Amino acid sequence: MRTLGFIPRSKLVTGLAFPKFILWAVLLALISSSTVSAKHSLKTDRFRGSVVVIGPKAITVKSEQNTYLVRTFNYTPQLERKIQSKKPSLGVKVTVHYLRGTDIAVKVN
């Protein structure tokens, strides 16, 4: 029985309306997530400071401007190979180029 265009709850859960709803929800989620990821550009920002800790997977840098600001960045696989061959020493001033909105370092000067 339809009342003002609404489907009764008993038919909604047991009938074909519920699987259709789930299918549309999944399709909408897939479509919206693919369009959102396509809009992101890979812009990079810079963080300048001195090296506090350096390891095989990450680098920790203290800011030049604010002595209380310390950030840790993970390496990309390409940068990880480069850092293994030539590590900056502790206390050296570096510039970390990282992907905007993340903590992934793309380049360390």
Q: For residue 90, what pLDDT is reported?
A: 95
- Residues 8-54 have pLDDT tens digits of 666 555 566 667 778 778 777 777 654 444 445 789 999 999 999 99
* C-alpha distances out from residue 26 to 7, 21, 33, 97, Å: 21, 9, 11, 37
- Residues 63-106 have pLDDT tens digits of 999 999 999 999 999 999 999 999 999 999 999 999 999 999 99
Q: For residue 49, what pLDDT is reported?
A: 98
Euclidean distance between CA atoms 54 and 5, whole angstroms:
64
Q: For residue 83, what pLDDT is reported?
A: 94
Torsion angles phi and psi, residue 84, rounded to 5 = -65, -35
Measured from the Cβ of residue 49, the count of other Cβ atoms closer than 10 Å reads 20
pTM of the model: 0.62
Whether residue 92 contacts residue 50, with contact meaning beta carbons closer than 8 Å, is answered with yes
Q: Which residues contact 40 (CB under 8 A, 6 or more apart)?
A: none
Whether residue 98 contacts residue 73, with contact meaning beta carbons closer than 8 Å, is answered with yes
